[in-house]
Structure 1
């Protein structure tokens, strides 16, 4: 095993469920990721922070989202845990590694540096101010990617090359964001190789987040593949997860979500199957782009000495894009002209075919239920379907091959792990070092407190095999033994009130430490005391799709 500090490449998928890649049970062909899994270590109980921007902030700062300043979304509520941009007084992982000699670059989605309305470019001029920090201001020497949370794959808004905005009209006719992110990552790897400098690269895809945008050539192989529907897909994926040794042989499947109809009762089945085909194409395109980056590592003889990790920022997304506008806001944001001048038509309309640049759809709750096989719930929930992610770590000169670990781990552990391997300072980090577990030297991650979550009232705490979780601030706590009931089907709260009380108290101590606020969060300006009028009460079921 090598003792030389490795290069680090962190690859983050966007809104991708637990079973959406081949080496985690999917029928979707992902050869690049499957190869990394075969040469590395998979974790079966890796967790994220339930949503895009909190996960990204937590990953980069190595602390829980509220401590990172992004406890909710990227709007500035004035409170320390809810400013909507990563804290300036805590170093990012890029800053920590750069201080010990690493080159640093990012290719992809930022989404932890303040809010950006994609349809109002005049507001983008805030980029780089105190409340809208750019990657190049937070430790990344090279940057190519988007600042906002979602948008077109063919005509992306808030796209930046270093510190300059790139407008859709400047892009070539065949532009596709996922592919370009892979090519930029490969170029940044080549730069680091030429400089003979260790590097930290952050490849943060927008795929497969809505909208359903993919090239026809990528969709064609999947056309018709999902005609059997989501019920059959969930069963097949569970079988593969079990056969891969990722879940126990007796693992049951959670019940179909109550809001998902049985496939045989669903109208527009051809259109539904086409939506999932486009989603599969997006995942496959992401894998192709990952392959581009990995090929660059091999070309420059860096692969064996690079720790490559892959995970998703949250579970599969159940958000439904309505034509008439969810509260009338986001269709205005995304009904934008394409490069050809045609305006994008927003909404999940079965009379339109998903995929082209002039459409703007999501794959919806039933398919998200399948993405999160075998778990229940979705992005924004703190049940297993919202916070469980596939995780791969590959470092040929430092880790075993074809290994599986069942220890609980969390996205916040990545910064602590990287700093431990690179010899960088680890002060103020909430996560633990994964490397002893990755190497098989110890069974569990050493951490000072149980893992905890909170997002818009959804909350959870994982203490050993037990998990306490609630589906909203006003909802009761549910208690599950994850060792025997990972799919959260048997609530044990009534049987163990003592354990509920203890875990709830532990969660509250964590919430107080991290600055978690109860709903509704009343916005305040930094120069005014909190508690004034004007707060907007949000649904405990998560925020609307416009904020995703």
Structure 2
């Protein structure tokens, strides 16, 4: 009888333990870089030192055919909602009435908060029409985040960013703060995690860490810039060739991949006169990514200290490809203070002025099309384009408790609309049909969890539209809209299996295939609100 009681007690304890383990939902961290090219980080072939991202890749999976929406705010709207940008209310660039996150869409934070998650965010928001306190209905705290530190606007100085906010309060900086935005995002993430583990240790969390690095302006700490002296001296032409070799060896591109031609707005390195100035720009860009990786390392170290790393689903990607913007007329786009005077009263040299060395707060420049061409190796074109250089992103997933795959590269065609359903399935969350009295649009994406367990994804297509930039992929075939000639804008057709870098337009050779795919794109565009019915 005693043995039977002991057995029953042991059985009940065992079941309780199993139930407790089964109920342990994962923590989730979604990390996004800003304006970073496909091949910039080490585990995708780049020269930049990213040991922490490389470690996540080595102990997780990388995708070689993952797509974003080619530009900041439409990507962010999609990733937060699992919808296409127009469905989420951000078909155009947010601000001035052109885009605002829809109340008929629900954010990951809103869903997970309803499923008993703590929800946090640091960094760039950029999905609200208003960036002033006159209208905060679409700010992070109002869209599901318990705690927020970051910026509402899309771009700004790293030393005195405009719209810097803690929850709904404006943050004022002084010279004594010794502020650098990338470090602030990383350190405030660690601080928030520290508070979470002290006060809510038994509650799972969702953390959206949205870096502005390496988006212009080229602002970096000198200690990080100095690490890249000599690294880029061969110039972008040779470095593109060397990157491609490493990418093939890593397996992030196919062995038969050919380097695309140098983009028209990228000059041959041999004819460049201001080489020291050009090298400084790329060194600063590299330093911005390096500093971001250092911060990710501090976040990972905090998770390790709390014994939480294995049960944390971590996802990393970029919002669009490398950016060739030259900042002509930038004073019209950004806060006047940051392009006129620094926090300590120095005059800002605004724009890409040869001889003015990038890095400090007293400069405000971008790295230009030639270096962006390197960032997007081996692909064509840049941010805003539906071609591979604009929409291909590194995508790293790490979750030791969720899957056993390590250092694997997945070739499934997937995109940012798949992030929300992946996170919800991992969290065992329920997606609502209504929220705050609004009927919610169904998610468009699919969960990628089966892919992490070596199952195929039951879908091989992807759509995008932003402005006049548009594309559609189905299997190995892809159409993209070219704007190279303003008098002859047209759809192009590519076979990405044979021609991964879109060198040969097959539109005239396969007109029926082009017509078939453009019809599908138009049908999709009407359904999701790109084209008004």
Under a length normalisation based on structure 1, what TM-score does the superposition of the two structures give? 0.88
Shift in Å at residue 333 of structure 1? 6.4
Aligned match of 2:365:
361
Equivalent in the alignment of 1:443: 456
1:164 paired to 2:169: yes
Q: How far apart are residue 490 of structure 1 and its match?
A: 1.1
Aligned to 1:404: 409
Post-superposition offset of 1:145: 0.3
Matched position secondary structure for 1:308: strand
Aligned-residue offset at 1:216: 0.7
Quote the residue 2:437 is aligned against: none
Out of 405, 424, 432, the residue aligned to residue 429 of structure 2 is 424
Q: Which residue of 1 aligns with 2:327?
A: 321
| 1:459 equivalent in alignment to 2:459 | no
Shift of 1:154: 0.9
> CA–CA distance in 2 between the matches of 1:455 and 1:115?
20
Partner residue of 1:287?
Answer: 293
Pairs within 5 Å for 1:512-531:
512-517=526-531
Secondary structure of 2:490's counterpart equals coil
2:197 to 166, 169, 193: 193
Instruction: Tell me, in whole angstroms, the C-alpha distance in 2 between the residues paired with 1:413 and 1:331.
Output: 34
State the Cα deviation string for residues 176-229 of structure 1 (Å, max 9, x = none): 110111111112222332312101000000000000000111101112321211
In structure 2, do the counterparts of structure 1 residues 135 and 329 end up closer, same or farther at CA, with 3 Å as the change threshold? Answer: closer
Report the Cα distance in structure 2 between the residues aligned to 1:331 and 1:61, rounded to whole angstroms.
28
**More moved, 276-285 vs 392-401:** 392-401
Which residue in 2 is equivalent to 1:110?
125
Match of 2:436 in 1: none
| 1:476 Cα deviation after fit | 1.5
Distance 1:464 1:333 in 2: 48
Aligned residues of 2:274 and 2:355 also touching (Cα < 8 A)? no
Contact 2:155 2:334 survives alignment (8 Å): no
Q: Which residue of 2 aligns with 1:483?
A: 497
* Distance in 2, Cα, partners of 1:172 & 1:290: 25
The answer as to 2:165 corresponding to 1:155 is: no
- Could you tell me how far 1:46 is from its partner in structure 2? 0.6
Tell me the matched-pair count.
Answer: 497
Which residue of 2 is the match for residue 394 of structure 1?
A: 398
Structure 1 partner of 2:110? 95
Query: Distance between the aligned counterparts of 1:127 and 1:266, measured in 2?
Result: 48
Q: Which residue of the partner structure matches residue 11 of structure 2? A: none
Alignment check: 8 A CA contact 2:47 2:231 kept: no
CA distance in 2, matches of 1:327, 1:500: 41
The root-mean-square deviation of aligned C-alpha atoms, in Å, is 1.9
Contact 1:179 1:289 in 2 (8 A): yes
Q: Distance in 2 between matches of 1:339 and 1:173?
A: 10
Q: CA deviation at 1:328?
A: 5.7
2:95–2:128 CA contact under 8 A, matched in 1: no
* Aligned structure 1 segments of 4 or more residues deviating by more than 6 angstroms: none
Aligned: 1:86 with 2:129: no
Selected match of 1:135 from 136, 140, 164: 140
Give, in angstroms, the shift of residue 439 of structure 1: 1.8
CA apart distance, 1:498 = 1.3
Distance 1:94 1:330, change over 3 A: closer
Runs of at least 5 residues in structure 2 that lack an aligned partner in the other structure: 1-20, 434-441
Question: Residue 68 of structure 2 corresponds to which residue in structure 1?
Answer: 48
Matched residue, 1:265: 271
* Secondary structure of residue in 2 paired with 1:500: helix
Q: Partner residue of 1:309?
A: 315
Residue 357 to residue 382, structure 1, CA distance change in 2 (3 Å): same
Cα distance change of structure 1 residues 214 and 315 upon mapping to structure 2, 3 Å threshold = same
Q: Contact 2:330–2:351 at 8 Å: present in 1 too?
A: no
**Among residues 483, 502, 507, which one is paired with 2:521 in the alignment?**
507
Q: For each residue in 1:224-274, what CA deviation from the matched residue of structure 2 results, as whole angstroms up to 9, or x when unmatched?
A: 321211101111111111111111222110000012111001120111011
Distance change (3 Å), C-alpha of 1:333 and 1:276: same
The TM-score with structure 2 as length reference comes to 0.90
> Does the 8 A contact of 1:157 with 1:168 survive in 2?
no
Q: Could you tell me how far apart the structure 2 residues matched to 1:429 and 1:172 are?
A: 46
1:98 match: secondary structure:
helix
- Decide which of 349, 353, 358 is 1:349's aligned counterpart: 353
Secondary structure at 2:315's aligned position in 1?
strand
User: In structure 2, what is the equivalent of residue 522 of structure 1?
Assistant: none
Pair 1:433 & 2:450 matched: no
Cα distance in structure 2, aligned partners of 1:250 and 1:89: 45
Gapped runs of 5+ residues in structure 1? 117-123, 519-529, 531-548
Paired position in structure 1 for 2:262: 256
1:412/1:431 contact within 8 Å kept: yes
Deviations 1:418-474 (A, max 9, x none): 11121222461011110101221x222x35x83111111111111111101112496
Q: Does 1:217 pair with 2:223?
A: yes
State the distance in 2 between where 1:126 and 1:450 align: 41
Contact 1:225–1:273 (CA under 8 A) maintained in structure 2? no
Q: CA deviation at 1:76?
A: 4.3
